[in-house]
């Protein structure tokens, strides 16, 4: 259940809601029992149906494709180190949370289902306006003598 996605859609803050002149006819029946023919505008559709509508409109499949971690290391050859005080020397570069695609959420939101903003306990799967996981980069130099 993603409130982040609902708020972004309901308030018109993402590209999925750009065409404000588009209208919708929601499925269902009117009070007389006839099929619904009442048109609503884009902003009403998202605001009253996604943000403040039924809870099931805030539920998304949490599947994601992710490039979680990449690490590259280069060890200098012994032949280069023979005339130095080093026994070995290596340089490493790493990155974490480099890319993800939550392919079952709206494209312009690309919500990260890996965040947990409700603390510990039974909150897994509930998002209450969380930010995405941060990208991190690192370098390390290792030397032995």
**What total of structural domains would you count in the chain?**
1
Q: What is the DSSP letter of 113?
A: T
**Reported confidence tier of residue 88, pLDDT bands at 50, 70, 90:** very high
Q: Rounded to the nearest 5°, which phi and psi values hold at 142?
A: -120, 130
**Reported confidence tier of residue 72, pLDDT bands at 50, 70, 90:** very high
Collect all residues with Cβ–Cβ distance below 8 Å to 124 and sequence separation of at least 6: 116
Mean pLDDT value of segment 85-106: 92
Percent of the chain whose pLDDT exceeds 70: 95
* 52 neighbors 45 (Cβ within 8 angstroms): no
For position 77, what pLDDT does the model report?
Answer: 93
Of 10-19, 57-66, 111-120, which range is least confident? 111-120
**Reported confidence tier of residue 109, pLDDT bands at 50, 70, 90:** confident
Distance between alpha carbon 31 and the CA centroid of its chain, in Å?
Answer: 39
On the question of pLDDT at 8 being above 70, the answer is yes
Domain that holds residue 36: 3-144
Q: 101, 81, 105: which is closest to 91 by C-alpha?
A: 81
**Reported confidence tier of residue 115, pLDDT bands at 50, 70, 90:** confident
For position 143, what pLDDT does the model report?
Answer: 94
Q: How many CA atoms lie within 13 A of 138 on its CB side?
A: 12
Distance between alpha carbon 11 and the CA centroid of its chain, in Å?
Answer: 18
Choice between 90 and 105, residue whose per-residue pLDDT is larger: 90
Distance CA 23, CA 66 (A): 35
- Sort strands 136-144 and 88-101 into parallel, antiparallel or unpaired: antiparallel
Number of separate helices (H) and strands (E) present in the chain: 3, 5
Mean pLDDT value of segment 50-73: 89
């Amino acid at each position: 259940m993603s409130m982040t996605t609902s708020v972004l859609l309901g308030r018109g803050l993402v590209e999925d809601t750009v065409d404000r002149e588009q209208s919708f006819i929601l499925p269902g029946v009117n009070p007389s029992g006839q099929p619904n023919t009442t048109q609503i505008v884009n902003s009403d559709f998202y605001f009253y149906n996604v943000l403040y509508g039924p809870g099931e409109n805030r539920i998304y499949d949490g599947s994601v494709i992710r490039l979680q971690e990449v690490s590259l290391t280069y060890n200098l050859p012994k032949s280069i180190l023979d005339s130095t005080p080093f026994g070995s020397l290596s340089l490493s570069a790493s990155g974490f949370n480099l890319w993800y695609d939550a392919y079952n959420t709206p494209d312009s939101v690309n919500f990260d289902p890996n965040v947990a903003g409700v603390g510990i306990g039974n909150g897994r799967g509930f998002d209450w306006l969380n930010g995405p996981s941060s990208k991190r980069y690192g370098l390390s130099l290792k030397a032995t003598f």
